[in-house]
Amino acid sequence: MNVAVRFSPADFAPVVAEQQLQSISRPSLSYWQDSWRRLRQNRRTFASLWAVVTLGVLTVAGPWVWRVDPAVQDIDQISQAPAWPSSALIVPSYTPWVAVTAMPTRQGDAVTNLRLAESASTQAVRLVWEPVVGAAGYVVYRSVYNPAPDRALGLPIGEVLGADQVSFEDRLGLEPRRYWYSVVVTDENRAEQEAYAVLVIDAVRTVSAEDAELRGWVEDASALAPGEQIGLPYHPLGTDYLGRDMLARLLYGARVSLFIGVVAPLLFVLVGVVWGSAAGFLGGRIDQLLMRVADFVIALPFLLFMILFKIAFGIGPGESGVFPMLVALVLLGWPSTARLVRGQILQVRQEGYIAASQLLGARTGYLVFRHMIPQTMGVILVTLTFAVPSAIFTEAFLSFIGMGVAPPTPSWGSMANEGIRTMLSHPHELLFPALIISVTVLAFNLLGDGLRDALDVRMRGRE
């Protein structure tokens, strides 16, 4: 059957062009915008970014808030652990004590009537006793533990020669605590008797009015009378081996340490990246030459060349040489980064898209910076975060040999170095600088992690 399809002219009217094409659901992002977005989304990384910013703020503003001079030595509160504010009793100034003598009348192994000549204070502890016939001298011991029952007398703090010498004054590092003093009789051969006399005392923290004035706690010494209490300067984080405030030193030290710890690694990683990518990409003779120079730099004796730099830069005695130290650190630190980067570039160089890009006419610089370096970001960032504590400790070592910052300028690394010595007896001197170094390293580490994730090309465009 013949079905006639009816066509009308309307069927042949042209199709109207659609104006609304497929719209892009979200804006086009460049590599950097995409990276920043991913960085912001990573919570941990963002937190570490804030930590780094806080460290920066502490460095700049800290000393303004906590206005204590880090160089002031509070001799009465040396190596003090963090504690609540303390006060001291005002006493008359120290006057040298004349030794007391008395003729021995008794026989015996040990002295008797061991007692204090006056109340015990941190200024001096003055002991007197009754002598013994036949003694050639007496040795005085001090302990912070009870000597009984095994005659653990403690530290031998002094000796007096002569049977008639019956006094001893102790001023050695006295702290406001309990002490056990023991006195032992010695014979002509300086051999000690087994028996000993012991006295327990509690030393009271004291200071003289003149000393208070000298240290700037009061304007005028006459304003203070013996018997009054005076508040001592407060050190929330304790003091170091010379009585300097730990918190102030940490805040001032941040300036040097963070500056060196951040700028030096950035610089030498930069140099290393440029060197390594040049070597890796260009290959052949240039590669060999560049790498041999790197080997040469690694093999040089570090200490020797540091001394040389110090001379070369003409750092005078006792002056801080932060800039020369920076130069030295950079000049001697770049080879390992260069090697790493070169290794990565060697791997990446073989990838197909590099050849493709080259065929398309890409220049070397474009290839290196746009394609290959982002591939090596992971390795670079790891090196960077490890270089931070390394730079801080190298700086400490250099200050130790006289290069770098001069005393009394503090830095975290040198505070840690000093703190090692008193690790057992006063751990806070090591703990605080080590802690803040750890926090810094952690912050940079997390930041580095996050940056690597953010900058990783392969993750681009993914949620």
**Which residues from 407-436 bind other proteins, rule CB under 8 A?**
407-408, 413, 416-418, 420-426, 430, 434
| Least distance between other proteins and beta carbon 370 (Å) | 18
**Which residue lies nearer to other proteins by CB, 59 or 376?**
376
Out of 56, 85, 92, 156, the residue judged to bind other proteins by CB under 8 A: 156
Q: Is 86 in the site for other proteins (CB under 8 A)?
A: no
Whether the Cβ atoms of residue 97 and residue 126 lie closer than 8 Å to each other: yes
Q: Smallest gap, in angstroms, from Cβ of residue 39 to other proteins?
A: 11
- x/- mask, other proteins, residues 234-253, rule CB under 8 A, reads -------xx-----------
State in angstroms the smallest separation of the CB of 203 from other proteins: 13
- CB burial of 328-343 (b: ≥16 within 10 Å; e: otherwise) equals bbbebbbbbbbbbbbe
Name which of 11 and 194 has its Cβ closer to other proteins: 194
The residue among 130 and 370 lying less far from other proteins, judged by its C-beta, is 370
| Closer by beta carbon to other proteins, 130 or else 332 | 332
Task: Determine which residue in the list 52, 97, 259, 456 makes contact with other proteins, applying CB under 8 A.
Answer: 456
Q: CB-wise, 85 or 162, nearer to other proteins?
A: 162
Q: Is 346 in the site for other proteins (CB under 8 A)?
A: yes
CB of 72 to other proteins, least distance (A): 7
Give the residue with the Cβ less far from other proteins, 132 or 140.
140
**How many chain residues are in contact with other proteins, going by CB under 8 A?**
106
Residues 356-415 close enough to bind other proteins by CB under 8 A = 378-379, 381-382, 385-386, 389-390, 393, 396, 400-402, 406-408, 413
SS in 3 state form for the chain? CCCCCCCCHHHHCCCCCCCCCCCCCCCCCCHHHHHHHHHHHCHHHHHHHHHHHHHHHHHHHHHHHCCCCCCCCCHHHCCCCCCCCCEEEEECCCCCCCCCECCCCCCCCCCEEEEECCCCECCCEEEEEECCCCCCEEEEEEECCCCCCCCCCCEEEEEEECCCECEEEECCCCCCCEEEEEEEEECCCCCECCCCEEEEEECECEEEHHHHHHCCCCCCHHHCCCCCEEECCCCCCCECCCCCEHHHHHHHHHHHHHHHHHHHHHHHHHHHHHHHHHHHHHCHHHHHHHHHHHHHHHHCCHHHHHHHHHHHCCCCCCCCCHHHHHHHHHHHHCHHHHHHHHHHHHHHHCCHHHHHHHHCCCCHHHHHHHHHHHHHHHHHHHHHHHHHHHHHHHHHHHHHCCCCCCCCCCCHHHHHHHHHHCCCCCCHHHHHHHHHHHHHHHHHHHHHHHHHHHHCHHHCCCC
Residues 176-235 that bind other proteins (CB under 8 A): 189, 214-215
The least CB distance from residue 214 to other proteins, in Å, is 7
Of 48, 58, 76, 252, the one binding other proteins by CB under 8 A? 76
* Residue with smaller CB distance to other proteins, 113 or 288: 288
Q: Which of residues 93-132 bind other proteins (CB under 8 A)?
A: none
Nearer to other proteins, 83 or 420 (CB): 420
Which residue from 113, 292, 323, 363 is in contact with other proteins, where contact means CB under 8 A? Answer: 292
- Contact criterion met (CB below 8 Å) for 383 and 418: no
Query: Does residue 295 bind other proteins (CB under 8 A)?
Result: yes
Least Å distance, CB 114 to other proteins, is: 19
From 137, 305, 362, 370, residue interacting with other proteins (rule: CB under 8 A): 305
Q: For the beta carbon of residue 25, count every other beta carbon within 10 angstroms.
A: 5
Q: Fill in the per-residue mask, 11 to 50: x = in contact with other proteins (CB under 8 A), - = not in contact.
A: ---------------------------x--xxxx------
- 270 vs 434, beta carbon nearer other proteins: 434
